[in-house]
Amino acid sequence: MNHQLALAIQPNLEATFADFGWGENTLLQKELTSALSGTGERFLYLWGPAGSGKSHLLQACCQQLLGQDKSSLYLPLDTLKTWDPTVIHDLDDHALLCIDELDAITGHAAWEEALFHLYNRVRDAGTSTMIIASARPPQHTPIALPDLRSRLTSCLVMQVHELKDIDKIKTLRAQARKRGFELPEAVAQFLVNRSARNMHDLHTLLDRLDRASLVAQRKITIPFVKTTLNW
């Protein structure tokens, strides 16, 4: 079943800590680094709104452990919720488990129980780290199973703060340079002002503009952005 799981999940292999715009999340960065080195908390619960970068962080954590030759697994529950929950029964032998999109299985009794037992196995084994991500803090998530809610509240709970506009602009420009082109500050500001403003959507727009500019063989300017995005 682990082989099937690996085939079903396609993590973003380019997600790294270096690419994440940390902004006001420096304490979170410290705690994640400590957890991955084995000197920090073994159970962390990250919460923040959609587009704040939770999925990027979890996948970046998995990439960090790959560099240390340790096994890790990224589990997006929104993808896995249609599977039988037994798929996660024997995963506690991994050094790191990153459970994303907890909200997708709230109210699903079998999935909540499976996650509860997985948590207990990881805790009892004493050798693995588990990081869970949700849109809400544990006390406000609609988990129906009291024992699972109790486990979640016992984690180190940390909020993923959204970036300020100036940090979004810096992150966009850094991503553009990584792709091999220069994004003028005025264009980045225009994107931030006109888009949904979360980093997920901004990165999606950057992808579209990058592809369009390569096809058109044009630099990314504000007029080009308006034409390409029908703004």
Q: What is the pLDDT along the chain (231 residues), one digit of tens a residue?
A: 566 777 678 777 778 888 888 888 999 999 999 999 999 999 999 999 888 889 999 999 998 888 777 889 999 999 999 999 998 988 888 999 999 999 999 999 999 999 999 999 999 998 899 999 999 999 999 999 999 999 999 999 999 998 888 988 988 998 898 888 889 999 999 999 988 777 888 888 999 999 999 999 999 999 999 999 988
Q: Which CATH number fits domain 165-229: 3.30.310.80, 1.10.10.10, 1.10.238.10, 1.10.8.60?
A: 1.10.8.60
Q: What's the pLDDT score for residue 1?
A: 52
- The first and second tokens of residue 88, run together, are 């996660």
User: What architecture is the 2-159 domain classified under in CATH?
Assistant: 3-Layer(aba) Sandwich (3.40)
Cα 30 to its chain centre, rounded Å, is 16
Do the beta carbons of residue 45 and residue 132 sit within 8 Å?
Answer: yes
Give the helix ranges, DSSP H, for the chain: 2-8, 26-37, 54-67, 77-80, 109-125, 146-153, 165-179, 185-194, 199-216, 222-229
Q: What's the pLDDT score for residue 2?
A: 62
Q: What's the pLDDT score for residue 70?
A: 84
Sketch the domain layout of the chain as residue ranges: 2-159, 165-229
Q: What's the pLDDT score for residue 16?
A: 86
Q: What's the pLDDT score for residue 120?
A: 97
* Among 53, 125, 54, residue whose Cα is nearest residue 96: 125
48 φ, ψ to 5°?
175, 165
Q: CA geometry: angle at 33 spanning 21 and 164, to 5°?
A: 20
